[in-house]
């Protein structure tokens, strides 16, 4: 069993996620959403400040790797911004991304034995924050529409094209547009470039659709 888990997603990843699932399960039953929102604000603030401060002070910052251009990190920034702006327009897009990103981040990772300790902290805390936001959103009984779903897909398609152009110009790999994620993860089951890109897009659309259907059945759709 250990060998199977280690080969599939890495035992270290499995162990860390198992620990993080304890507070996740606790928050599922915690009722005070104001407390959860305040906690989320401090967790995201700590995550961003500690990560970029460390990279700057240690002269480890690499713009090809450490810019917050992956969808999960863009979404985390959007959550922090929305905690101030309270913009209902952005909420459906943030929620759909958070469900997708949080689950994907907990299922596998793109970290390696060469990754910095702060990169581990940043990765797991970022995806934990996405899960926490998803819980807050769901408990808030905010409703989304089919138009919100379409807008979110269109917005992500625009982001994907923009990031693809950025990667092409700067020789980076945000959103993994030019090569598979490094490390031990489920991309071993994906076809090679460029075909795995279509597989990733399909998974994203499937996640959006399943989340919307789940909300529809729970009458969270307007």
How many whole angstroms from its chain centre is CA 209?
17
Q: Which two tokens stand for residue 47?
A: 């995550």
Cα–Cα distance for residue pair 160/165, rounded to 1 Å: 9
Q: Is the per-residue pLDDT at 11 higher than 50?
A: yes
Other CB atoms within a 10 A radius of the CB of residue 130 amount to 29
Give the pLDDT band of residue 222 (cuts 50, 70, 90): low
Write down the pLDDT at residue 7. 42
Mean pLDDT calculated for residue range 194-218:
86
Write down the pLDDT at residue 218. 67
What pTM was computed for the model? 0.92
Write down the pLDDT at residue 219. 63
pLDDT digits 0-9 by tens, 126-161:
999 999 999 999 888 788 889 999 999 999 999 999
- Establish if 222 belongs to a structural domain: no
Note down the domain range covering 96.
Answer: 2-217
- Establish if 136 belongs to a structural domain: yes
Q: How many domains does the chain have?
A: 1
Write down the pLDDT at residue 189. 80
Burial class, 204, CB count within 10 angstroms (exposed 0-12 / middle 13-18 / buried 19+): buried
Give the pLDDT band of residue 220 (cuts 50, 70, 90): low
């Amino acid at each position: 069993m250990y060998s199977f888990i280690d080969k599939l997603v890495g035992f270290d990843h499995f162990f860390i996620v198992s620990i993080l699932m304890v507070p996740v399960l606790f928050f599922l039953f915690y009722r005070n959403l104001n407390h959860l929102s305040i906690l989320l604000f401090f967790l995201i603030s700590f995550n961003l400040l500690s990560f970029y401060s460390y990279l700057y002070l240690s002269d480890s910052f690499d713009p090809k790797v450490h810019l917050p251009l992956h969808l999960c990190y863009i979404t985390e920034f959007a959550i922090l911004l929305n905690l101030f702006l309270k913009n209902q327009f952005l909420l459906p897009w943030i929620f759909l991304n958070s469900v997708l990103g949080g689950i994907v981040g907990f299922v596998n990772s793109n970290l390696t034995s060469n990754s910095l300790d702060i990169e581990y902290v940043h990765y797991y805390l970022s995806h934990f924050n996405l899960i926490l936001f998803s819980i807050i959103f769901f408990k808030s009984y905010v409703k989304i529409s089919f138009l919100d779903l379409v807008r979110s897909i269109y917005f992500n398609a625009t982001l994907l094209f923009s990031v693809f152009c950025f990667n092409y110009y700067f020789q980076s790999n945000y959103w993994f547009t030019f090569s598979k994620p490094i490390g031990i993860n489920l991309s071993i089951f994906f076809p090679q470039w460029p075909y795995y890109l279509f597989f990733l897009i399909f998974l994203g659309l499937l996640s959006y659709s399943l989340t919307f259907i789940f909300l529809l059945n729970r009458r969270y759709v307007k």
